[in-house]
């Protein structure tokens, strides 16, 4: 019996987990529009799986708030009310400001340089008018910073909020018609360089809430 199997001996991931992770990434990155329906048959064809793993993946995503299920059983990405958007924006402000604050003592030059590189990718996505690439790079910027907080439970909660907001962020990108990357990213980097905790907290709070306010105006 092999106690430590080689990579080639390891069991492949369960089919439902593969489907779940694939759909989760697409939703978080805004690849699905608000109100877009998903069917078991369509997911089965796309991921080459049977109905059972497709159903299990959808069940997990509904439980996380990434998808909604109507009384008739129709599954779709959520169309968030203004009140729900405001609630999720408030959660982002609470969680991400705290994560950034905890990350600050560990924000060495290697991290700052990485954030600058990611922000270049954000600018390139804006220049290409690529909404999905923009959302992906924007989340990568925040995740890279928050990983330094060494608060995995808090980061997991933040990612659940990102997941619920994914389709809405796609709608927001279209409304903003961005021509340049968020200037709050530059303020975040400047605050990290200066060791300025109040400035960092303000920059992160503004970055994660200002855009969403446009959708509830």
pTM of the model: 0.87
Question: What is the reported pLDDT for 8?
Answer: 45
Per-residue pLDDT reduced to its tens digit, 53-91: 999 999 999 999 999 999 898 999 999 999 999 999 999
Structure tokens at 174: 């279209």
The rounded distance, in Å, linking the Cα atoms of 36 and 186 is 34
Cβ atoms of 155 and 145 within 8 Å: the answer is no
Per-residue pLDDT reduced to its tens digit, 89-145: 999 999 999 999 999 999 999 999 999 999 999 999 988 888 899 999 999 999 999
The rounded distance, in Å, linking the Cα atoms of 101 and 191 is 11
Domains for the chain: give ranges and CATH numbers: 7-76 (1.10.10.10), 82-216 (1.20.120.530)
């Amino acid at each position: 019996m092999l106690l430590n199997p080689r990579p080639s001996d390891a069991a492949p991931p369960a089919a439902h987990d593969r489907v779940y992770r694939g759909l989760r990434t697409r939703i978080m990155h805004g690849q699905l529009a608000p109100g877009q329906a998903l069917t078991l048959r369509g997911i089965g064809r796309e991921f080459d799986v049977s109905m059972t793993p497709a159903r299990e993946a959808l069940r997990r995503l509904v439980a996380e708030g990434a998808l909604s299920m109507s009384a008739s059983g129709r599954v779709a990405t959520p169309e968030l009310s203004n009140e729900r958007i405001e609630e999720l924006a408030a959660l982002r402000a609470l969680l991400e400001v705290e994560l950034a604050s905890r990350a600050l003592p560990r924000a060495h030059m290697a991290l700052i340089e990485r954030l600058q590189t990611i922000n270049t990718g954000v600018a390139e996505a804006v220049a290409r008018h690529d909404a999905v690439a923009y959302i992906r790079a924007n989340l990568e910027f925040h995740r890279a910073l928050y990983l330094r907080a060494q608060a995995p439970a808090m980061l997991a909660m933040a990612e659940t909020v990102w997941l619920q907001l994914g389709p809405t962020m796609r709608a927001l990108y279209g409304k903003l018609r961005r021509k340049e990357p968020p200037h709050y990213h530059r303020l975040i980097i400047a605050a990290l360089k200066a060791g300025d905790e109040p400035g960092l907290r303000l920059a992160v709070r503004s970055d994660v809430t200002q855009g969403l306010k446009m959708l509830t105006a």
